[in-house]
Amino acid sequence: MTTLETEEATVSLAMLRQAREVIVVADSSKIGHVSPALICPISAIHVLVTDAGISAEVLHALKERGIKVVVA
């Protein structure tokens, strides 16, 4: 999970370190794009909520990593 803003990444990482579960909400157009500031690796994500635009291939790959994907 990445962002354009370093400060945002720092704050988000601090929150993630306190969380029992990491839930990411991102529209499908953001998936696969990498921005300069790392928030956390994909291995830290428990649940991804996204839209129906997510490809079947990416959906399968995320589920293979143990990430629950909710398509809304």
Q: What is the mean pLDDT of the chain?
A: 96
What is the average per-residue pLDDT within 14-28? 96
Q: Which residues of 10-41 are buried (b: 16+ CB within 10 A; e: fewer)?
A: eebeeeeeeeeebebeeeeeebeeeeebebbe
Query: pTM of the entire structure?
Result: 0.90
pLDDT in tens, 26-37: 999 999 999 999
